[in-house]
Amino acid sequence: MQPIQERIVAINAEQSARYVADEAARHRYWAKHPTFFACIKCMDGRVLFPSMTKTPIGIVKPFRAIGGKFEIWWPSFLGRVRHWMERAVSIGSRSFIFVTYHFSVSDTHLGCAGWKYDTASARAHAERLQKEIAYVFGEQVTAVVAGVETDRDVLILHGAQGDISGETLIGKTAEEIRTAIFAVFPTMDPQAITDLVPFLKGNAERVAELTKDQRNLEEKGHNERIVAIGQGFDWLAQENLALIINDADPNLADSVRVAGSLIQKNLAAAAAGDDASLFTCIPYREPGMDYRQAVARAKGLKKFAERVVAEAYPELMASGRVHSMAAVMWEPNKKIEVVEA
């Protein structure tokens, strides 16, 4: 197996063990904070909720697409959000969705490649999607537009009465943060406000750290080595390692091409032997048919991705530096099984 692929397997082994070990902690967390959280975000490897908010993996359900450009009418996106929301309804909880876009204050070109660095358009899309989610799902969901400033991982929530961000909350207590959220979102469900506090408190700590020890430019820019296509990649939680694409995207080929262009750029600056991987993974819950459909999807997606990248970047594929691997993941422990490499 190629080193980049061994790295994926090693990260998975470590994260899967951690996920299982954290099972009880997650349940305790949910007992205290019953609101279900999801995040719509860019495939960009720098937009990483667990490290940005210092919350455990598995608390926020991620939906990733290039530039976060989900559309409410995408059948499989809508179906997945609905399924997630119905689970919340079934246990009497509400749902909260961060609808995010990202940018960099130090350098426009460290912004969102998926939007050609046009932050205003990215934010306008998030605002439209937020309204559409509110229209479809009504009072069950609170959807909030949020900006992510990737130099210092600042999470900024845009409210009806102004903004609130981790940066403005540094050093504040949970109660002070609760009051500050209420000031910006006066009509938000009180439970949702309470459950939002840990994210903003964690973000304030994160921003304080990154203000003190600034990252260098190379760390802030794109330096990914993996194009991950499929679902359930929250375990691949390594900053700047993977470009993650949800296969609910009907413009899947476009997203794979954009990811391919970033990989090409990253490899040009990388040492020989520092290679990249197209990695597909599909989760399953049951043996039998559920397992077999995951295997078929993972293998099919791998072939699809190889073809798209080979057509768009023939010299990149011919270089032999882009490997590929298909896997399935058992949902309860997030452990992957490589089915083709």
In the bound complex, what is the minimum distance in angstroms from residue 77's beta carbon to Zn ion? 17
In the bound complex, what is the minimum distance in angstroms from residue 67's beta carbon to Zn ion? 5
**Binding pattern to Zn ion, positions 177-196, x when CB under 5 A?**
--------------------
In the bound complex, what is the minimum distance in angstroms from residue 45's beta carbon to Zn ion? 10
- Candidate ranges 37-45, 134-142, 195-203, 214-222; the one touching Zn ion (CB under 5 A): 37-45
In the bound complex, what is the minimum distance in angstroms from residue 338's beta carbon to Zn ion? 28
Alpha helices in the chain (DSSP H): 3-21, 23-32, 49-53, 75-90, 119-137, 174-184, 190-212, 217-220, 252-268, 289-312, 314-318
Cβ proximity to Zn ion, 2 vs 251, nearer residue: 251
Does 317 contact Zn ion by CB under 5 A? Answer: no
With contact defined as beta carbons under 8 Å apart, do 334 and 18 qualify?
A: no
Distance between CA atoms of residues 46 and 291, nearest Å: 31
Cβ proximity to Zn ion, 112 vs 241, nearer residue: 112
Q: How many CA atoms lie within 13 Å of 335's alpha carbon, on the beta-carbon side?
A: 7
Does 44 contact Zn ion by CB under 5 A? Answer: yes
Does 230 contact Zn ion by CB under 5 A? Answer: no
The answer to whether the Cα torsion of 54, 59, 62, 68 is positive or negative is negative
- Candidate ranges 57-65, 107-115, 137-145, 291-299; the one touching Zn ion (CB under 5 A): 107-115
- The site that binds Zn ion (CB under 5 A) totals a number of residues, namely 4
- φ, ψ at 277 (rounded to 5°): -140, 140
With contact defined as beta carbons under 8 Å apart, do 168 and 118 qualify?
A: no
With contact defined as beta carbons under 8 Å apart, do 339 and 328 qualify?
A: yes
Cβ proximity to Zn ion, 66 vs 88, nearer residue: 66
Distance between CA atoms of residues 332 and 329, nearest Å: 9
> Which residues within the stretch 110-169 sit at the binding site for Zn ion (CB under 5 A)?
112, 114
Cβ proximity to Zn ion, 38 vs 42, nearer residue: 42
157-176 in b/e form (b: 16+ CB < 10 A) is bbbeeeebbbbebeebeeee
Cβ proximity to Zn ion, 221 vs 283, nearer residue: 221
In the bound complex, what is the minimum distance in angstroms from residue 275's beta carbon to Zn ion? 23
Any bridge partners for residue 325, and if so which?
A: 279
- Candidate ranges 6-14, 42-50, 187-195, 271-279; the one touching Zn ion (CB under 5 A): 42-50
In the bound complex, what is the minimum distance in angstroms from residue 141's beta carbon to Zn ion? 24
Cβ proximity to Zn ion, 54 vs 222, nearer residue: 222
Cβ proximity to Zn ion, 42 vs 242, nearer residue: 42
In the bound complex, what is the minimum distance in angstroms from residue 128's beta carbon to Zn ion? 17
- Candidate ranges 12-20, 41-49, 194-202, 208-216; the one touching Zn ion (CB under 5 A): 41-49
Does 42 contact Zn ion by CB under 5 A? Answer: yes
In the bound complex, what is the minimum distance in angstroms from residue 44's beta carbon to Zn ion? 4
Does 65 contact Zn ion by CB under 5 A? Answer: no
The tokens describing 181, both together, are 């959220």
Distance between CA atoms of residues 303 and 150, nearest Å: 33
Measured CA distances, 127 to 16, 123, 131, 336 (Å): 35, 6, 6, 36
- Candidate ranges 48-56, 109-117, 170-178, 194-202; the one touching Zn ion (CB under 5 A): 109-117
Query: What's the alpha-carbon Rg for the chain, to the nearest Å?
Result: 19
Tokens 């490897």 correspond to 45
The tokens describing 281, both together, are 């993974």
In the bound complex, what is the minimum distance in angstroms from residue 48's beta carbon to Zn ion? 12
Interacting residue ranges for Zn ion, rule: CB under 5 A: 42, 44, 112, 114
